[in-house]
């Protein structure tokens, strides 16, 4: 019997000598090394884990549930004036400090802020959740709320690693070679994002499309105006170049993280997928903690991605808090808990780029599933 290790592209899960244990529902997976009699139905596993996590959530303060992440976003806003003023300097060090500050702030608002807002994890109010989603996704990120929420929350989370649905194939550009895709193409993310958003506006109501256009224009123009009138850029082209530089500062890890944590792990056909707890434990991977990426992207996208996929409505800080419980539970139940380093995944994708990013991924076979 073999199961996926980080970076593997195929899992064969075989049942040996079932014995008198409980019958499995359709889609249940028997993980490696687990005696059949020890396995409860998937619903019982997920319910038990949810109860453990819910106890932690209920015992946590508002500060732990929402305050920590809101404070990080607020601090990022407070750093904006310093970033724009540093760009006024003719000296290299203050100017580069301004670029670094604005780049980190931009990705904190657009990646961490948008991600939390799309899952309504910043507040327990649905009305305020909608306001924050429009602010972070449309005004800051130049994308559309409806399509971002549908593609990420409904499709990617609902069908994680299901071929043709939530298999992260939207991140694949098979006409590019590995080095262009991994190291050059990310620089185009700030340009491609609003262009893709404009194309997707055909699929939303006209009122939502008009709101998105206004928010996108306001966000981009404010950035441009501040560079001209606060940072003191003399020409439109120099301001636009600085916009591109700051908005693409962390574009490389942004692209890398989105492919490292799913592509190369087991993929499933829609009619032969395992159930939720097995699907998320098999098809999601955690990266190590990193101070810069934890701040800019959030724990749920870096070191707590497994926890995030199991409990997507929790904030970054809460995902970090429940991480020991989730990892211990999955390991105790002999379920995969995938972890790998950034450098290891980067080397894997450079070596196996054709297989993972160009050709269609192989469908994982679930052998012995009734």
Residue 5 lies in a domain: no
Listed residue (278, 336, 369, 334) closest to 33, CA to CA: 334
Residue located via tokens 């732990």: 64
> What is the spatial distance between Cα 219 and Cα 134, in angstroms, rounded to a whole number?
11
What per-residue confidence (pLDDT) applies to 365?
65
Residue 193 lies in a domain: yes
Residue 77 lies in a domain: yes
Residue 370 lies in a domain: no
Count of domains for the chain: 1
Neighbours of 220 (CB within 10 A): 17
Listed residue (228, 257, 255, 251) closest to 241, CA to CA: 228
User: Which ranges of the chain would DSSP assign to H, the alpha helix?
Assistant: 42-58, 62, 68-86, 92-107, 114-118, 126-133, 145-149, 178-179, 189-200, 206-229, 236-247, 251-260, 276-283, 291-296, 305-310, 316-332, 342-351, 353
User: Measured at the alpha carbon of residue 244, what is the angle toward residues 199 and 260, in degrees to the nearest 5?
Assistant: 70
- pLDDT tens, the chain, 370 aa long: 333 433 443 333 323 333 333 333 333 433 333 333 344 567 789 999 999 999 999 999 999 999 999 999 999 999 999 999 999 999 999 999 999 999 999 999 999 999 999 999 999 999 999 999 999 999 999 999 999 999 999 999 999 999 988 888 888 898 999 999 999 999 999 999 999 999 999 999 999 999 999 999 999 999 999 999 999 999 999 999 999 999 999 999 999 999 999 999 999 998 888 889 999 999 999 999 999 999 999 999 999 999 999 999 999 999 999 999 999 999 999 999 999 999 999 999 999 999 999 987 778 865 433 2
- Residue 369 in contact with residue 39, Cβ under 8 Å? no
Backbone angles phi, psi at 274, to 5 degrees: -75, 170
> What is the spatial distance between Cα 308 and Cα 222, in angstroms, rounded to a whole number?
33
Name residue 58's beta-bridge partners. Answer: none
Residue 368 lies in a domain: no
Residue 54 lies in a domain: no
> What is the spatial distance between Cα 133 and Cα 139, in angstroms, rounded to a whole number?
9
Residue located via tokens 């014995």: 19
* Residue 275: C-alpha distances to residues 125, 164, 270, 300 (Å): 30, 17, 11, 21
* Residue 243: C-alpha distances to residues 36, 183, 209, 352 (Å): 57, 19, 24, 34
Side-chain half-sphere CA neighbours of 144 within 13 A: 24
Name residue 2's beta-bridge partners. Answer: 12
The parent domain of residue 305 ranges over 59-358
Residue 340 lies in a domain: yes
Residue 256 lies in a domain: yes
Handedness of CA 62, 64, 70, 76 (dihedral sign): positive
> What is the spatial distance between Cα 252 and Cα 33, in angstroms, rounded to a whole number?
38
What per-residue confidence (pLDDT) applies to 4?
40
- Residue 341 in contact with residue 1, Cβ under 8 Å? no
pTM over 0.75: yes
> What is the spatial distance between Cα 53 and Cα 303, in angstroms, rounded to a whole number?
17
């Amino acid at each position: 019997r073999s199961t996926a290790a980080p970076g593997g592209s195929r899992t064969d899960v075989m049942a040996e000598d079932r014995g008198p244990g409980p019958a499995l529902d359709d889609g249940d997976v028997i993980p490696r090394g687990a005696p059949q009699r020890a396995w409860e139905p998937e619903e019982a596993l997920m319910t038990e884990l949810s109860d453990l996590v819910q106890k932690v959530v209920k015992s946590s303060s508002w500060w732990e549930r929402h305050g920590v992440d809101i404070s990080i976003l607020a601090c990022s806003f407070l750093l904006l004036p310093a970033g724009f003023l540093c760009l006024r300097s003719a000296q290299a060090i203050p100017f580069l400090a301004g670029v670094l500050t604005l780049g980190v702030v931009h990705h904190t608002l657009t990646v961490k802020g948008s991600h939390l807002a799309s899952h309504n994890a910043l507040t327990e109010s649905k009305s305020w959740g909608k306001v924050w989603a429009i602010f972070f996704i449309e005004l800051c990120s130049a994308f559309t709320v409806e399509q971002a929420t549908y593609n990420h929350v409904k499709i990617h989370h609902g069908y994680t690693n299901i071929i043709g649905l939530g298999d992260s194939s939207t991140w694949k550009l098979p006409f590019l070679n590995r080095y262009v895709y991994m190291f050059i193409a990310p620089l185009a993310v700030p340009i491609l994002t609003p262009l893709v958003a404009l194309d997707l506006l055909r699929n939303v109501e006209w009122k939502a499309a008009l709101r998105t256009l206004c928010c996108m224009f306001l966000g981009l123009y404010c950035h441009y105006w501040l560079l001209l009138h606060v940072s003191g850029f003399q020409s439109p082209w120099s301001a636009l170049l600085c916009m591109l530089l700051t908005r693409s500062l962390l574009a490389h890890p942004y692209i890398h993280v989105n492919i490292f944590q799913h592509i190369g792990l087991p993929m499933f056909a829609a009619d032969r997928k395992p159930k939720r707890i097995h699907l998320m434990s098999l098809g999601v991977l955690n990266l190590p903690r990193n101070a810069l990426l934890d701040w800019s992207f959030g724990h749920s996208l870096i070191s707590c991605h497994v926890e995030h996929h199991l409990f997507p409505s929790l904030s970054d800080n809460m995902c970090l808090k429940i991480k020991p419980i989730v990892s211990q539970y999955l390991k105790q139940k002999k379920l995969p808990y995938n972890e790998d380093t950034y450098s290891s995944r980067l080397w894997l994708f450079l070596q196996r780029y054709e297989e993972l990013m160009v050709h269609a991924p192989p469908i994982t076979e679930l052998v012995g599933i009734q």
